[in-house]
Amino acid sequence: MDQSIRFYSDFLGLEVIDRKQISSNNAEIAFLKDPTGKGAILELTFYRNQKIFSQADYEQRLFDHLAFEVTDMDKIINKLRNAKVTITDEPFRLGPKGTLIAFIEDPNGILIELIERKKPI
């Protein structure tokens, strides 16, 4: 849980607004939010007795992911690269004048899409 919280705080700027133990499920839960108050709240849950599945347990990876808007793709990609974060898809544009996107993985292998929208003129 600490590693995930550090990742989302250090790289995506989220702030912990609540963190507590859930003894009935032998779990811990944390809520993180965008400090501007404009974004959604991310919920992280760690179940201590949960079975861990390997990639071999699945026939294919499902395309489920989180997405975060960033203001400076180059800056965040360089910071992630320097921290040895897995970058699964380097930044690319959706069309010649389209949105700039990239995909990375969090410490638990969760796929994250980074989106830098075209700046208004």
Q: How far apart are CA 118 and CA 121, in angstroms?
A: 9
Residue 16 lies in a domain: yes
68 and 120 together in one domain:
yes
45 and 80 together in one domain:
no
Count up the domains in the chain and report the number: 2
Report residue 89 CA to chain centroid gap: 14
Residue 15 lies in a domain: yes
Q: What is the pLDDT of residue 54?
A: 63
Residue 59 lies in a domain: no
Residue 58 lies in a domain: no
Q: What is the pLDDT of residue 17?
A: 94
User: For position 107, which CATH number holds?
Assistant: 3.10.180.10
3 and 37 together in one domain:
yes
Q: What is the pLDDT of residue 63?
A: 54
Q: How far apart are CA 72 and CA 88, in angstroms?
A: 18
Residue by residue, pLDDT tens for the chain (121 residues) are 999 999 999 999 999 999 999 888 888 999 999 888 787 889 898 888 876 666 565 555 555 788 999 999 999 999 999 999 999 999 999 878 889 999 999 998 889 999 998 765 4
Residue 56 lies in a domain: no
Angle in degrees, CA 96, 98, 100, rounded to 5 = 110
Q: What is the pLDDT of residue 55?
A: 59
Structural domain boundaries enclosing 12? 1-50
- 25-45: buried (b, 16+ CB within 10 Å) or exposed (e) per residue? eebbbbebbbeeeeeeebebe
Q: What is the pLDDT of residue 121?
A: 46
